[in-house]
Amino acid sequence: MKINIFDLEFNCEYFYIHSNSIVEKINFNNRIFYSKYKKIITPLTPILLKQHQNHEIHLALPLIEENRVNYLVIEYGQEDWKAFYALVKNLLKNLNIKLYFSYRDEKMMLLQIFIPKDSVDINIAYKEVENIKYLLNLKLKKSYKIFPNSNLPKNYNIITLPRTKI
């Protein structure tokens, strides 16, 4: 089922909903991950999307589907998000990436930058992510996340749905 959120399009038959407690324990590469997102195997409804937009619930969608990726995502959750955003825009320009979509969630203090990809293989996506991460680390050592992340299980490569377009 296709889901359109702002400029983004997702194609998935399930979604994740945030819980206040741990819902899943995942063993991956000799590490244990505890997830607070419960997988719901049913298509996302407009009512749930509205509740998400109103901050009543937190929804997420999988980034990796059948070892393919449609977006690379950079997330940043600090107060100085405008400086980080300016840095990322410059970096993307230097990488000749002209198309990206930016969103902000004021309540969660989260900046999300989605870089569209045309159903690219997961291994190619991992290489592109590593290149962006390397270039970001040259300029900035602050805490940001970039997905897909090869060091995380697929169940952890999920993206919170954006709330406000920049």
**Pairing relationship of beta strands 31-35 and 24-28 according to DSSP bridges:** antiparallel
- CATH code for position 24: 3.90.920.20
Please count the structural domains in the chain.
1
**155 lies in which domain range?**
2-165
pTM of the model: 0.94
State pLDDT tens for residues 52-80: 999 999 999 999 999 999 999 999 998 88
Among 70, 113, 69, residue whose Cα is nearest residue 88 = 113
User: What are the 10-residue block averages of pLDDT along the chain, 166 residues in total?
Assistant: 90 93 93 94 93 95 94 93 93 96 91 96 96 89 89 92 94
What per-residue confidence (pLDDT) applies to 80?
87
Q: Output the pLDDT for position 143.
A: 83
Q: Which ranges in 32-80 belong to alpha helices (H)?
A: 46-53
